[in-house]
Amino acid sequence: MNPADQDACRAWQLLMKFFFAQRAHLPSSGARFDLSPIQCHVLHLLEPRRPLPMSRLADTLSCDASNVTGLVDRMESRGLVRRRSSPEDRRVKVLQLTATGARLRTQLLRQMTGGSLPLSRLSLDQQRTLVKILEALVDEK
Amino acid sequence: MNPADQDACRAWQLLMKFFFAQRAHLPSSGARFDLSPIQCHVLHLLEPRRPLPMSRLADTLSCDASNVTGLVDRMESRGLVRRRSSPEDRRVKVLQLTATGARLRTQLLRQMTGGSLPLSRLSLDQQRTLVKILEALVDEK
DNA sequence: CGGATATACTTGATATTGTCAACTATTTAT
DNA sequence: ATAAATAGTTGACAATATCAAGTATATCCG
């Protein structure tokens, strides 16, 4: 394996490690509100005044649509999100944060940036560089 | 929220997005061998001649020990890993790659670095910077 | 020494997350 | 107008996750 591949490989492994390591810190933030890691992520993705079609969420999570159905079922039954039929296309249902959901989201984001999490170990420069690289990596259209 | 927190928050979201986006690329690599994302990660973590105690794996994955039991059960039944009692401490069981497991791991790493994956969109410099930042983030002891 | 405590792993119960196949409703294409 | 594609749901089921309880081994300490 050449050196370039080794870097790619190592980066991959570290990204995975970070994802799993991150769960250890959820008890102090997400789980305090009884949110699973995925629910935290969905809550983060759902911006307060920007309704999101369920199919878009399935795309972002790279999972089956039926998975989103269940995920949203649970979040809706807890009063965090609401399904609304889209007027333009009556097949699609868009997700909206409820007031409760938006409040929880704010608290979650606050905790996310709170001092104890590993991200705060990075310098500002590093954080900004990381964001730039990840944006290239994720390539949101 | 101040600008520094916004960067941290955005980095967090991007890291999560990457993790989920990454699953979309597994069908072309991991799933070809019928490996789940977690199984891929474990296979990557298990280096050929470096046995790993199950408890260390549970630490790395930030999950309950019983979860690792099931995970290893499935991988062992497929002949990818082997449990061996540690001679020093008979409570611990260490995991070793089988020949099959090692072979699969090599193929997996090769595919990981193969052209089509998003990591290859980064320049060498970016890859190296990313590795450096992630190492600070994950902080392996 | 010996009992209490801690650690490593397993088992069983249960919830969540994930896939797939089949179905309904709606939209788009021909 | 019919056919094909898309959005979402449902049901069956497997994988992943947690917790509580149990077994076996190690360690601590009076």
pLDDT averaged over every residue in chain B: 89
pLDDT at A116 > cutoff 70? no
Q: What pLDDT is stored for residue B13 in this prediction? A: 92
User: What pLDDT score was predicted for residue B131?
Assistant: 94
pLDDT for the residue numbered B33: 84
Tell me, in Å, how far CA of B31 is from C1' of C17?
17
> Using the beta-carbon criterion (under 8 Å), do B124 and A61 form an inter-chain contact?
no
Does B119 contact A1 at a Cβ distance shorter than 8 Å? no
Spatial contact of B54 and B67, defined as CB atoms under 8 Å apart: no
Rounded-to-10 torsion of CA B51, B113, A17, B17:
-160
A46, two tokens = 């759902």
More confident residue, A122 or B100: B100
ipTM greater than 0.95: no
Q: Residue B81: its pLDDT value, please?
A: 98
Q: Which residue is nearest to nucleotide D11 (CA to C1')?
A: A66
Q: What is the mean pLDDT of residues A60-69?
A: 97
For A41 and C17, how far is CA from C1' in angstroms? Answer: 14
- As a whole-number percent, the residues of chain B with pLDDT over 70 amount to 90
Q: Which nucleotides of D are covered by protein (CB under 7 A)?
A: 6-12, 15-21, 24-27
Instruction: Give the model's pLDDT for residue B141.
Output: 47
B90: pLDDT strictly greater than 50: yes
Q: Residue A122: its pLDDT value, please?
A: 85
Contacting residues of A for B8, CB less than 8 Å apart = 112-113, 117, 119-120, 122, 127
CA distance A117 to chain B (A): 10
Express each pLDDT in B95-131 by its tens digit.
999 999 999 999 999 887 765 567 778 888 999 999 9
Residues within 7 Å (Cβ) of strand D: A 23, 53-55, 58, 65-66, 68-70, 72-73, 83, 89, 91-94; B 36-39, 61-64, 66-67, 70-71, 74, 89-91
b or e along B53-84 (b: 16 or more beta carbons within 10 Å of the residue's beta carbon)? bbeebbebbbbeeeebeebbeebeebebbbee
Predicted pLDDT at B140: 63
What is the topology classification, in CATH, of domain B26-116? Arc Repressor Mutant, subunit A (1.10.10)
pLDDT of residue A68: 98
If pLDDT is split at 50, 70 and 90, which confidence band does B38 have?
very high
C-beta separation of A9 from B109 below 8 A = yes
At residue B24, the pLDDT reads 82
Locate the chain A residue with the closest alpha carbon to B21.
Answer: A62
pLDDT at B116: 59
User: What percentage of residues in chain B have a pLDDT greater than 90?
Assistant: 65
Q: Is the pLDDT of residue A74 over 50?
A: yes
- Residue of chain A nearest B10, judged by CA positions: A131
Rounded to the nearest angstrom, the minimum Cα separation between A118 and chain B is 6
Residue-averaged pLDDT of chain A: 89
Cβ atoms within 10 Å of A118's Cβ, excluding its own:
15
Nucleotides of C under 7 A from a protein CB: 7-13, 16-22, 25-28
The CATH number of A3-116 is which of 1.50.10.100, 1.10.1740.10, 1.10.10.10, 1.10.287.3610?
Answer: 1.10.10.10
What pLDDT was estimated at residue B100?
96
Q: What is the CA radius of gyration of chain A?
A: 17
Across the range A48-53, mean pLDDT stands at 97
Give the residue with greater pLDDT, B140 vs B41: B41
